[in-house]
Structure 1
């Protein structure tokens, strides 16, 4: 790709560095971004559904579980964007790929939501 065309790509902090990687790797990175976005939509939908549906779960625990799911759904796009940027830069600069920086928080949050909802089912 010519330098002039690369200067028009967004974000410049990604495309303005390093060498153009193999397109297969960039496309795989984009698929990972989209997977995080799908995960975000699923978490948001689950949080809304848990609270909106008349489920046999104790009220306070149901609300807490729903809020955790919605908050995780709001964090997943943050992981998607910053993960895409960090990975694309690493590909362009021939560096090792970074770990998901919110991965542990999202996993812990999903566990907390599941525990809250499970307890809510047991104490109803």
Structure 2
């Protein structure tokens, strides 16, 4: 039986896809860039940016690109990646790294729904909810 993940999160960047993938895969265990195709000289996108890529975060597969078209939209906190952390150290470290040069949407704290929770938007514009 094919264990291919049928539904994947697809992220569209504007020239930062490879940097974002490297950053994200450095944060989570069982994570890696599994395939990457770059634009070549003379193609529609800027040479060296990501035409198409796949990567895994904790075994969950994602896809991404660097769009060669300017859009009037970007990422929104209305959709976020939710991470269940196993330890206080893990949530603190992950929150700190993701919020660096980004924005804290909800500070890391105790809330009625979680003993330790925080919501951040990273420097690439992706929103992350972290819960212990």
Would the TM-score normalized by the shorter structure come out above 0.5? Answer: no
Task: From the two aligned structures, give the one with the greater helix fraction.
Answer: 1
Task: From the two aligned structures, give the one with the greater strand fraction.
Answer: 2
Q: Give the TM-score of the pair, scaled to structure 2.
A: 0.26
* Rg (Cα) greater in structure: 1
Q: Give the TM-score of the pair, scaled to structure 1.
A: 0.27
